Amino acid sequence: MNKLKRRQFSAEEKVKILKRHLVGKEDISDICDQLEINPNQFYRWQGELFENGAVAFERYGKREEAKIRKLEEKVEALESRIQHKDNVIATITEDYVKLKKNFGEA
């Protein structure tokens, strides 16, 4: 049982591979032979690049926007908790001062 191990290419590696053809004008067949990948794989990566290339020109990608939104919600929740804590402390302090006055300690 000799199973071939599938190689995984990072996003950066895929871009470099595609760049060899798109910018460096290398033949797809030469690149695929050298890397031992099927040309269909190369074309799939190229299709993904062109379909998702607009993200490179956006200020933030959708994932980043979602992360930012989640962090903003967390900040709002924490600020609300702090405000509630401050209100509780103010009420307790006020009651404490009244008690001290009632017992003649103030």
Asked whether the beta carbons of 38 and 32 are under 8 A apart, the reply is: yes
For residue 97, being part of any structural domain is answered with: yes
Residue 18 lies in a domain: yes
Residues 67 and 106 grouped into a single domain: yes
* Model pTM score: 0.53
78 lies in a domain? Answer: yes
Q: Do 73 and 42 reside in the same domain of the chain? A: no
Q: Which single residue is written with the structure tokens 């794989």?
A: 41
Residue 26, domain member (yes or no): yes
Q: Is 4 among the domain residues?
A: no
Do residue 25 and residue 53 come from a single domain? yes
- State the total domains in the chain: 2
Owning domain of residue 45: 9-57
Report long-range pairs for 43-47 (Cβ below 8 Å, ≥24 apart).
45/14, 45/17, 45/18, 46/18, 46/21, 46/22
Give the span between the Cα atoms of 33 and 30, in whole angstroms.
5
Per-residue confidence in pLDDT tens, the chain, 106 aa: 455 677 899 999 999 999 999 999 999 999 999 999 999 999 999 999 999 888 777 776 677 888 899 999 999 999 999 999 999 999 999 999 999 999 886 5
